Each structure stands twice: as structure tokens, then as C-alpha cells.
Chain A
Amino acid sequence: MIDAVKLHLQGIKSALAVRMAYRADFFISILIMLVVEAFVPLVTYLVYKNGASLPGWNMYEALLVQGVFLLSKGISFPFFFGMVWNTIYRVQEGTFDLLLIKPRSVLQMIIVTGFDSEDLGKLLGGIVLFSVSLAHVPFPSLDLWLKFAVLFFVSLVVMFGFGLILSGLGIVWIGNYRVYEIFTSISNFGMYPANIFSKAVVTFITAVIPVAMLGYIPASQLLGRPAEGTLIAVISSIIFLIVSLLFWKAMFRRYNSAGG
């Protein structure tokens, strides 16, 4: 375990060193990441400023859902979601083969060498949005914080599951960076309070593909009004991870080293 962490830290160090060759572009990119992610909260802000609202949610509660989502994305994208672009890039270029001969698991190497420093901007944005929203809602008790921590960890598990699925797709769907758009479109459902969706959609985003876990469910817990079906969402998140892992392995077996 310690060895794996050391390896991951080495990967981060190397990625930062490479990125620092273009320092100005690096800092602009971090800033841009932050601005890009601010779009959904901006729409929410504008909607509320125009006197409209999401029924049953004040502006800061709605922003808290988006803040939690962004925080989850801010942790997963730099630290392990880079496995997606890394797989796509390496498979297309033919350098995926190099990872097969390393004395470590291919999945671990894909994650370690896929550290995405620019995405730290997402984390920064998540921290800011989360903090600002939290400052405008009643401060949660320790009990709520603990429950939130558990659910937030589960949200990272779901993110990891998505990473595995997209990375697996990257092995067989050569050079298709648009798989990110598939994730973005589906995960959009997790950025809003579930009560705005129909019953069927709520069931789908909690029990089938648990995207509600990415923002809505942990945020609801923190606000002291646990979402319906939280336990089901936790169970389906674990199942989602297992299925994702199996999917990745199945795709990995189909790797043919042909490039693209």
C-alpha cells in the first residue's frame, strides 16, 4: 500500500515537472478549469437572481449540491480520472504496450501516469463553491459531517467507476476523446436536486447508474434532509464499481496493440 502511494506521488511529481515547462500556460489552464466549472453555478445564480428558483431549494442549497459535485470532480479528475485520456492517448499512439511490460498492474500504471495537474483548478473551484454555499446554510452538526464524509467517499467510488468505464471504452474505441462528453451529459443529473426529475429518472440515477451520489445525495445529507433511497444508492454504487472493473478487464482483454 505504502509502495503504491509512493509510486503515485512519484507520478504526480513527474507530471508537474513536465507541465512546468510551459508554466504560463499551466497557470492559465488551472484558472480556465476553474472558470469552466463555474458555468453551472453561474446559471443557477442567474436563475435565482431573475426571481426564479428550483422548487424547495434556496440558491445556496442548490449551489451546495453543485459544490459537492465539483469537489468530487476536483479530487477525482486530477488524481485518478486521468486514466481516461491516458488510456485513449496511449492506445492511439501505441505506447499503451509500454505499460504492459512494467512490473506493476496496468491499471495502476495508467492512473499513476495519468495525473492531470490542470484539473487542480476543478478542486480549487469545488472548495470555493462548497465553502461559499456552506457559509449561507445552517452549519451541519458533527453527525451530519460524518455521514457526509462517508457518502462523499462513495461519490469518489462512483467517479472511479466512471473512470474505469471510459478508460475501458478508450481501449476499444480508438482515439475517441468524446467519451468525456458522455460522462458530462450523464453526470449532469447529479448536479441538481432530484425532486426536479421524474420518478423514473430518480430511480435510474440512484439505483441503476448512481450519478445522484456525485452531488445531490451527499449534499442532502449535509443539509440534514437525507435523500430518499440513499442506502440503495450506496449499494448500487458498490455494484457499479464492481461492474465497471469487470468491464475494464473485459475491454483490456480485447486490446490488440494496433494503435489508431
Chain B
Amino acid sequence: MMNLCKKQFDVFRATVFATYKEWAAYRSHMAVSVLVGPVFFIVQVFIWSAIYSTRDTVTGLTLTQMLTYYGIVNVINYLTYDSSDVDLQWHIRTGGFITFMLRPISYFYYAICQKIGHRLLALWVEFVPVYILFLFVFKINLVPANLFWTLISVFLSFILVFLTNFCIGITGFWLTKTEGLRRAFQVLRDVCAGSLLPLTLFPEFIQKILFYMPFQFIAYVPIRVFMGSYELAGISMSIPKIVALQAVYVVVMFLVYKLLWHFGTKRFTGVGA
């Protein structure tokens, strides 16, 4: 058991380090976020300031809360971003996936280690500079209401984003080229997750549908946990309860991944397309 743990840790360390080093060569690409994030935010500041000039609240949120929402979306996204779907589909399409089947480690484990390495780099190249900018230049309150629950919720979101993207990547076993499907999913996910706008802006009946979908746990829930209160479709929940529900969805998504992976790998021929 100890040997197995040590072996897994060695794989973890080597993959994380290699990915970090590999992407560090392209750190200037990542640093684009330091320009793009704040510019997007400035536009939001103007839009929402204009909208709020005639009223105090929109769907129960004040201007400060709205801007805080967008500020948190921005920084959390740097921590949870994932591209495992692109990588997996690329390996399947080119036939390169066969080399992973020959390796003594699972592709899933390898992919999540890669994500950790990638996000570790993003932590100081994207997250920290943008966080400081938002905090000190835009004066956005980016201090979590409860650090403990926020960390757990962001961590669960990190896993959930990976799992959902990985499942989309698995569709590559059935479909030859899945760029379209991947983009479709990304749009659906970003809109339904609250990454692009607060879900409370949607009409009541859509909010009810969104409440039962897993997407809100990707962005909306961590943001609301960060802000210290949760409410959607008229349903209010305590922070520990909504985080527990988020954990349940992570488990469900893990089972979905297992099922898809089981059937998907059986279809793999190694020929590519």
C-alpha cells in the first residue's frame, strides 16, 4: 500500500512538474489574462453603472454586489480553468491515445495531474496579478465571507470542471471530430453555470431548471459561497448545505465519467481519424 502511494505520488510530482515547466515556456500567453480580465471588467463596470443609475437593485443585487460577482467570476475562473477535453479528443483523433493505454498509469490520473501543474502556473501568472488589480485598483471586495467553505467550494468546482470537460473529451471515442460539440457544451456550461452573468437575471422558471442542473456548481455556487449567501429560484440554502450538494454532484459526475470511459475505451481502435 505504501509502495503504491509512493508510486502514485512520484507520478503526481513528475507530471505536475513537467506540465508546469512545459507551460512556463508559454507564460506570456497566460499573462494575456492580466490585460484581458481587467478590460472585460472595466466594460462591465460601465454597463452596470449605467444600468444602476436609474435603480438601486437588479434582481435583488446592488451595484457593488453585481461588480463583486463579476470580479469573483474572473478570479475563480483562473483557478478552475480546464482543457482536458481538447487534449483527450486530440489524442483520440490522432491515435496518440494508444501510447497512454500502454503506460502503467491511468489517463484520468495523468490528465488531472496535468491540470494541477497548469493551474499552479496560472496561480502566479494570472490569479495573483488580477486579484491584486481587482482588490486595489477596482476596490472590489475579494475577501471571502468564509475562507474555509470558499476553499472547499472552489476545490470542488475545480474537480467538477475537470470531470465535465473530461466527459466531453470522451465523446471523441464515438465522434470523429468533436470541436463543434465541445464548443456547444462550453457555451451551455458557461451560460448555465453563471460564469457570464448571475443566474438570478434569468426568468424564474429557467432559474428553477438551472437549480436542478449540475452547471451552477461550477461557478454560481462557488461565487455565492465566496459572497457568503446562496439563493437561486427563490430557494435559499445555508453555505454548508449547498457545498455538500456540490460534493454530491462531484460524485455523480465521477460515476458518469466511469461509465462513459468504460464504454468509450472499448470503441478505441488506435487508428485515429
Alpha-carbon separation in the docked complex, A39 to B191 (Å): 8
Partner of A22, one of B36, B39, B177: B177
Chain A count of residues within 8 A CB distance of the other chain: 41
Tell whether, in the assembled complex, residue B51 and residue A181 are in contact, meaning their CB atoms are under 8 Å apart. no
Alpha-carbon separation in the docked complex, A42 to B243 (Å): 29
Please give the distance in Å from B47's CB to the nearest CB on chain A.
6
A162-196 interface with B by 8 A CB criterion:
173, 175-176, 178-179, 181-182, 184-186, 188-189, 192, 195-196
Tell whether, in the assembled complex, residue A52 and residue B40 are in contact, meaning their CB atoms are under 8 Å apart. no
Tell whether, in the assembled complex, residue A182 and residue B201 are in contact, meaning their CB atoms are under 8 Å apart. no
B180 partner residues in chain A, CB cutoff 8 A? 24-29, 31-32
Alpha-carbon separation in the docked complex, A254 to B202 (Å): 50
**Given known A29-B180, A46-B201, A185-B35, contact A35–B187 (CB-CB < 8 A):** yes
Tell whether, in the assembled complex, residue B51 and residue A188 are in contact, meaning their CB atoms are under 8 Å apart. no
Partner of A47, one of B28, B49, B58: B58
> Is B179 interfacial (CB-CB < 8 Å)?
yes
Alpha-carbon separation in the docked complex, A178 to B180 (Å): 19
Against B, the Cβ 8 Å flags (1 = close, 0 = not) of A53-68 are 1110000000000000
Tell whether, in the assembled complex, residue A188 and residue B32 are in contact, meaning their CB atoms are under 8 Å apart. no
Number of residue pairs A-B, CB distance < 8 angstroms: 99
A184 partner residues in chain B, CB cutoff 8 A? 36
> Is B181 interfacial (CB-CB < 8 Å)?
yes
**Given known A46-B197, A50-B201, contact A29–B40 (CB-CB < 8 A):** no
> Is A43 interfacial (CB-CB < 8 Å)?
yes
Smallest Cβ-Cβ distance to B58: which chain A residue: A52
A137 partner residues in chain B, CB cutoff 8 A? none
A36 partner residues in chain B, CB cutoff 8 A? 183, 187
Please give the distance in Å from A219's CB to the nearest CB on chain B.
16
> Is A197 interfacial (CB-CB < 8 Å)?
yes
Tell whether, in the assembled complex, residue B197 and residue A52 are in contact, meaning their CB atoms are under 8 Å apart. no
Alpha-carbon separation in the docked complex, A80 to B2 (Å): 59
Alpha-carbon separation in the docked complex, A43 to B197 (Å): 8
Tell whether, in the assembled complex, residue A178 and residue B50 are in contact, meaning their CB atoms are under 8 Å apart. no
Please give the distance in Å from B134's CB to the nearest CB on chain A.
15
Against A, the Cβ 8 Å flags (1 = close, 0 = not) of B182-222 are 01100100010000110001110000000000000000000
> Is A225 interfacial (CB-CB < 8 Å)?
no
Tell whether, in the assembled complex, residue A54 and residue B47 are in contact, meaning their CB atoms are under 8 Å apart. yes
> Is A201 interfacial (CB-CB < 8 Å)?
yes
Against A, the Cβ 8 Å flags (1 = close, 0 = not) of B44-56 are 0011011111110
Alpha-carbon separation in the docked complex, A32 to B48 (Å): 27
Smallest Cβ-Cβ distance to B40: which chain A residue: A185
Tell whether, in the assembled complex, residue A176 and residue B29 are in contact, meaning their CB atoms are under 8 Å apart. yes
A199 partner residues in chain B, CB cutoff 8 A? none
B43 partner residues in chain A, CB cutoff 8 A? 185, 188-189, 192
Tell whether, in the assembled complex, residue A175 and residue B178 are in contact, meaning their CB atoms are under 8 Å apart. no
B106 partner residues in chain A, CB cutoff 8 A? none
Q: Which A residues form the contact surface with B (CB < 8 A)? A: 22, 24-29, 31-32, 35-36, 39, 42-43, 46-47, 49-55, 173, 175-176, 178-179, 181-182, 184-186, 188-189, 192, 195-198, 201
Closest A-B pairs by Cβ, 9 of them: A28-B180, A196-B50, A185-B39, A29-B180, A178-B32, A22-B177, A25-B177, A188-B43, A25-B180
CB-defined A-B contacts under 8 Å, sample of 14:
A25-B177, A25-B180, A28-B181, A28-B184, A32-B187, A35-B187, A39-B187, A47-B51, A53-B51, A173-B29, A192-B43, A192-B46, A192-B47, A201-B46
Other 12 A-B pairs with CB < 8 A, given A25-B175, A28-B180, A192-B47: A22-B177, A25-B179, A29-B183, A32-B180, A32-B187, A39-B191, A46-B197, A55-B50, A173-B28, A175-B29, A188-B40, A192-B43
